[in-house]
Amino acid sequence: MTTVRDRVLRVDLTGGTVERERVPEEWRRDYLGGKGLGARYLYDELAPGVDPLSPANHLAFLVGPLSGALPGESRYAAVTKSPLTGGFLDSYGGGAFPDALAGALPDCLGVLVTGRAEEWTTLVLEDGAGRLVSAADLTGADAHATDEALSGAVACVGPAGEAEVSYATIATDGGDHHAGRGGAGAVMGSKRLKAVVARGDPPEPSPALATLRERYERAYREGDTGRWQAASETVESLDFADAVGALATRGWQAGRFEGAEGVGVEALRERSVGREHPDRAVPGGFRVATDEGESVPRGATPMSLGAGLGIDDADAVADLGATCDRLGVDVISAGSAVAWAIRAAENGTLDRDLAFGDPAAARALVEEIATRATPLGDALADGVEAAAERFGGEALVPTVKSMEMPGYDPRVAPAMALAYATSDRGACHRRARPVEREVFEETWSTAERVEAVVGAQNARSAVWSLVADDFAAEALSDLGAALLAEVGLDHSPDDLARLGERVWTLTRLFNVREGFDRTDDALPAPLATPREDGVALDPAAFEDLLTAYYAARGWDDAGRPTAETIERVGLGSVVDGATPLGETRATTER
């Protein structure tokens, strides 16, 4: 049997200590690892109202019970309280770091970091233990330079993390991969933790697990998802969104981009100098030469930095993406920040020479944001909502729970608007992406929309508790149950479905305890505003859809899980007295 992971390392940066402790057995059973285990620790140990950038906040680097042995690309989970939203945050990164983390701590599910170091520090993980060393000589270094300076697999912050930009990332592989959304990099920077270095070979699976993995790998690469990824990776998302009128263009003013061909999958394929993993059946992203060195633009890069900013040149978009990667800033939030500034400049809110289609001006503003070098950069570093509050122009670019919205425009897909609005970490297309089906349905009922969103959110919560490649898991519905038995966890597919709902409910409880309610799930005002082709969402119809979602979840009209729901999903002994619960399940009757 493969080694059981039942420990965590607890790192106190204030005291400079690293200690091992056992994960409670029921936590390991009921939450597995990754998202679920991180949510359990945060809910149990983090007091309501804690400042996300204070030493009291937790930052967890977590794997799952099968990390290193799952099909697809390995991931790790960064779990914390978000400085952008003030709510629960789980963000995922790939590359070499997850396997090295799993190998460096072979019996651990990860690392829990608290406190704040007196000086910039690196955490080195190897041989089942951790130690803290000075990173004073790395202050100011970007993601690529930090990776080059350290021996091992590196997760680090760039200048944006050091400056505590609210959507700073944690970069791995020198910036090729990022735990990108929600500002985990800002939390890491606030703790004066420059890097985590993992030194360990991926764990060797048992013969039985290796056989299972091979079977699943083959099914994955031969299935539709694997073939699509092998051909196009995620950059084809722009072409799809443009074709169906769901591509947020020029700051959400249009749903199609006249320059899409210049930044779509064919343009990037032509410029590619290779693939990330050329020897694998699913070879990863396109590697493109840029002014910053080779970069791997993913779907969000041409969508947010290309169409979103009206830039129709693939080289310019790749350069701009590489700048974000090097500085350690989320490309989706950065693209929205620049788009907001351009629109605010056009309507006279800002006195700044900005225009859509100008990559040089966009790059300069991204650099100002990442270093907080100017008043505008400093305001935008705290998010679009913070900048709008300071300068005006709030109804220009949509946000949910203060997080900037990805480039799928839901004005043609109401279920996608519901997915954004109800996402636990703020506007997110990875929790549920019903737009891929909805745009092809002539009539999709309220019940079908709700079912699509709820089902995906629950399933992804289970997948991210395994810390599995969600694209592989999409193709392999029975992935978890068969593999978990090899580490002594007897979970049927139904058990995993319940686990996914339990974890989603727990993150909702965390957010409710922080003061979130129905108003935080509201339809962003720009989506009720007609775009250039006249398409908009009806706020009243959206409210009906949201109520139906709450009813399906067993939450009340304010979005609070009821006591009955808490008991049903197995959280009755977990919920505390500081968390307000709903008394009556929402009803769709009028």
Say what the pLDDT of residue 445 is: 95
My answer on whether 558 and 479 are in the same domain is yes
Three-state secondary-structure class, residue 390? helix
Same domain, 422 and 372: no
Structure-token pair, residue 441: 């349905």
Q: Which of 21-35, 208-222, 327-341, 472-486 has the lowest mean pLDDT?
A: 472-486
CATH number, domain containing residue 464: 1.10.599.10
Q: Kindly state whether residues 322 and 439 are assigned to the same domain.
A: no
Do both 318 and 421 map to the same domain?
no
Q: For the chain, give the mean pLDDT.
A: 94
Quote the pLDDT of residue 41.
Answer: 98
Q: Is residue 588 part of a domain?
A: no
Q: Based on the domain organization, do 506 and 414 belong to the same domain?
A: yes
Query: Order of strands across the sheet with 170-172?
Result: 129-134, 121-126, 193-199, 153-156, 170-172, 177-179
Query: How many beta carbons lie within 10 A of that of residue 492, not counting itself?
Result: 13
pLDDT exceeds 50 at position 590:
no
Rounded Cα distance, 555 and 509, in Å: 11
Helix (H) / strand (E) containing 92: strand 88-93
Tell me: pLDDT of 220 over 80.
Answer: yes
Residue 142, Ramachandran bin (φ over 0: left; ψ between -120 and 50: alpha; else beta): beta
CATH number of the domain that residue 161 is part of:
3.60.9.10
Give 148-175 pLDDT, tens digit per residue.
Answer: 999 999 999 999 999 999 999 999 999 9
Name the more confident of 204 and 564. Answer: 564
Please state which of the ranges 23-27, 293-297, 342-346 shows the lowest mean pLDDT: 293-297
Q: Is 129 among the domain residues?
A: yes
DSSP codes joined into one string, 108-167: EEEEEEES--SS-EEEEEETTEEEEEE-GGGTT--HHHHHHHSSSEEEE--HHHHTT-TT
pLDDT of residue 221: 87
Q: For residue 272, what is the enclosing H or E element?
A: strand 272-275
CA distance 353 to 365: 11
Same domain, 26 and 153: yes
| pLDDT tens-digit series, residues 25-36 | 999 999 999 999
Question: With the C-alpha atoms ordered 179, 64, 421, 402, is the resulting torsion angle positive or negative?
Answer: negative
* Strand runs labelled E in 7-87: 7-12, 17-22, 59-62, 76-81
Torsion of CA 421, 435, 306, 470, to 10 degrees: 80
What SS3 state is found at 69?
coil
Residue 179 and residue 258 in one domain: no
- Greatest alpha-carbon pair distance for the chain in Å reads 66
Amino acid residing at 343: R
pTM above 0.85, yes or no: yes
Q: Say yes or no to pLDDT of 513 above 60.
A: yes
Residue 573, domain member (yes or no):
no
Please write the tens of the pLDDT for every residue from 552-580: 999 999 999 999 999 999 999 999 999 99
Phi-psi region of 177 (alpha: psi -120 to 50; beta: other; left: phi over 0): beta
pLDDT of residue 40 exceeding 70, the answer is yes
Q: What percent of the chain has pLDDT above 90?
A: 84
Shared domain check, 196 and 234: no
Q: Would 316 be classed as within a structural domain?
A: yes
**Residue 589 reports pLDDT greater than 60:** no
Residue 481, pLDDT score: 73
Residue 41 domain-assigned (yes or no): yes
- Compute the CA torsion angle 264, 267, 271, 274 (nearest 10 deg): 60
Residue 2 placed within a domain: no
Stronger pLDDT, 126 or 3, i.e. the higher one: 126
CA-based R_g, the chain, Å: 22
One domain for residues 199 and 233? no
Residues 269 and 300 in one domain: yes
Q: Is residue 163 domain-shared with residue 301, that is, in the same domain?
A: no
Residue 134 reports pLDDT greater than 60: yes
Confidence of residue 479 (pLDDT cuts 50, 70, 90): low
Look at the block and give the residue holding tokens 């505003």: 529
Q: Which of 394, 423, 454 is the last residue of a domain?
A: 394
Structural domains of the chain, count = 3
Q: Which domain holds residue 160?
A: 7-207
Residue 581 has pLDDT above 60, yes or no: yes
**Residue 486, both tokens:** 């090899």
Decide if pLDDT at 480 tops 80.
no
- In-domain check, residue 481: yes
Look at 16-30, 209-223, 226-240, 395-409 and tell me which has the smallest mean pLDDT: 209-223
Residue 1, pLDDT above cutoff 60: no
Cβ 456 vs Cβ 56: under 8 Å: no
- Residue 257: inside a domain: yes
pLDDT tens-place string over residues 355-365: 999 999 999 99
CATH number of residue 266's parent domain? 1.10.569.10
Whole-number pLDDT of residue 471: 84
Where among 370, 394, 418 does a domain terminate?
394
The answer to whether residue 468 scores a pLDDT higher than 80 is: yes
